A and B are shown apart, each in its own frame.
Chain A
Amino acid sequence: MPVHQLLFWILTVMALSCALGVILSRNPVNSVLFLILTFFAVSGHYLLLNAQFLAVVNIIVYAGAIMVLFLFVIMLMNLNSDTEPQKSWLVQLAGVVSSGILFLVLIAAVSRASGMMPLDTKATDIGLIKNLGLVLFNDFVLPFEISSVLFLSAMIGAMVIGKKEEPVKQ
């Protein structure tokens, strides 16, 4: 088995088992740690697919920033497995069955899709910063600027929502 394929299977098993750990572990802190491991596995897949810039951004933004925010909120609320609310087993079974059925339907729908070319393992440079920057600032300038407005409004919104409410003066 070539090393590329071996890495693919190792990362796949890691991603799927850690994703199951996210939704099955009782303690929310463990869920966050499993999700960070899942993001590392997905970043490994990005490296295998020659998307080096996205692999680094995935680790910095998701595993570095977003997950630290989650961990911070969970520790702020002092959540642990004792206070964890549980759904009844019937609802949980319904969730597993319906998502499994959705998985089967999607697999059946896409497994015979035509036009799928096999991926070559040859290295390309489309995922490097130089190439991505050229595409981003030539073809996607307007979405880039709009996303800056989105960030500004998200920042203001988070501050307005998180502000302590003043008691209403009569």
Chain B
Amino acid sequence: MPTQYYLFLSLALFCIGIMGVLMRRNAIIVFMSIELMLNAVNLLLVAFSKMYNQADAQIFVFFIMVVAAAEVAIGLAIIVMMFRKVHSVDINILNRLKN
């Protein structure tokens, strides 16, 4: 199995995530697209860990999962707070931080 296959798969997942960030206006879907991009990077790190037969990259994946969990907790708290104030998760409304 060539490593390039995993490289192309993870690039495709990453670009689908970018497409989601650019296309959607719902802040939660934008968040989910960011999770998709993080997962694409994780997959690439695991593939390289297999290629070099070293465990360090898998530890990095572990830390990326830690950071993603913390990020989701804070981000969803911010979105819920915004929803309480303006009753919408539209990012075109959220770009005005004041008022």
Residues of A participating in the B interface, judged by any CB pair closer than 8 Å:
4-5, 8, 12, 15-16, 19-20, 22-23, 28, 31-32, 35, 38-39, 42, 45-46, 49-51, 53-54, 57-58, 61-62, 65-66, 69-70, 73-74, 76-77, 79, 84-87, 91-92, 94-96, 98-100, 102-103, 106-107, 110-111, 116-119, 121, 124, 126-127, 131-132, 135-136, 139-140, 143, 147, 150-151, 154-155, 157-158, 161-162
Contact = CB atoms under 8 A, between A and B. Distances in A.
B73 A154 contact: yes
Contacts of A4: 1
A23 B19 contact: yes
Interface of B is mostly: helix
B86 to A, nearest CB: 12
B20 to A, nearest CB: 3
Q: Chain B interface residue count: which class?
A: 35 or more
Contact of A49 (B25, B46, B79, B90): B46
Given A73-B79, A96-B19, A143-B63, A42 B55 contact: no
B97 interface: no
A87 B20 CA distance: 12
Contact of B32 (A31, A117, A121): A31
24 contacts: A20-B16, A23-B20, A23-B24, A32-B32, A35-B35, A54-B58, A61-B65, A66-B72, A74-B28, A87-B23, A91-B23, A95-B22, A96-B23, A99-B16, A102-B18, A103-B12, A118-B2, A124-B50, A126-B53, A126-B55, A132-B55, A140-B63, A154-B70, A158-B73
Given A38-B36, A51-B58, A143-B63, A162 B80 contact: yes
Contacts of B66: 147, 150-151
A103 B36 contact: no
Interface of A is mostly: helix
A22 B33 contact: yes
Contacts of A39: 39
Given A5-B1, A15-B13, A51 B50 contact: yes
B46 A76 contact: no
Interface of B: 1-9, 11-20, 22-26, 28-29, 31-33, 35-36, 39, 42-43, 46-47, 49-51, 53-56, 58-59, 61-63, 65-74, 76-81, 83, 88-90, 92
